Structure 1
Amino acid sequence: MNSTIWLALALVLVLEGLGPMLYPRAWRRMVASLSQLPDNLLRRFGGGLVVAGIVIYYMLRKTIG
């Protein structure tokens, strides 16, 4: 795999870990409220995040190299 992908994955893990580490109560409330949402809304949200990530990746890839 490309080293850029591994670096991006590492950055995602760091950012995802900051929420529960710094704000455990707020993170727990957020997860509890997300678990109450309907499946189709969660799928749309996840799909939007995937599309945003792909767009950002390609924009940076084009800019950097």
Structure 2
Amino acid sequence: MLHTLLTAFALVLIIEGIGPMLFPNKWRNYLQQMVEQPVNQLRSIGGTLVTIGLVSLFFLI
């Protein structure tokens, strides 16, 4: 179980690192746009992503 969680975490780090590694200028512009968004909109986006992830995980297990 621990091995699976660590593998999943490693994959998340790899996937999240691809953007800044390959497209640093676009990544910086993206982050600047994120900073300018209202907090409630960011919270809604985060909640939606978590919900999609949980539903996907439910169907995969």
Range class of TM-score, shorter chain: 0.7 to 0.9
C-alpha displacement of 1:58:
1.3
Unaligned runs of 5+ in 2: none
Q: Give unpaired runs (5+ residues) of structure 1.
A: none
| Aligned match of 2:44 | 44
**How many residues are treated as equivalent by the alignment?**
61
Structure 1 residue 57: deviation in Å?
A: 1.2
Q: Residue in 2 aligned with 1:26?
A: 26
> Could you say what secondary structure the match of 1:14 adopts?
helix
Q: Normalization by structure 2: what TM-score?
A: 0.88
Root-mean-square deviation over aligned CA pairs: 1.3
Aligned-pair identity in percent equals 44
Structure 1: which 4+ aligned runs deviate by more than 6 Å? none
TM-score by length of 1: 0.83
For 2:2 and 2:55, the matched residues in 1 are separated by 18
Between the aligned partners of 1:59 and 1:2, the Cα distance in structure 2 is 21
Alignment partner, residue 57 of structure 1: 57
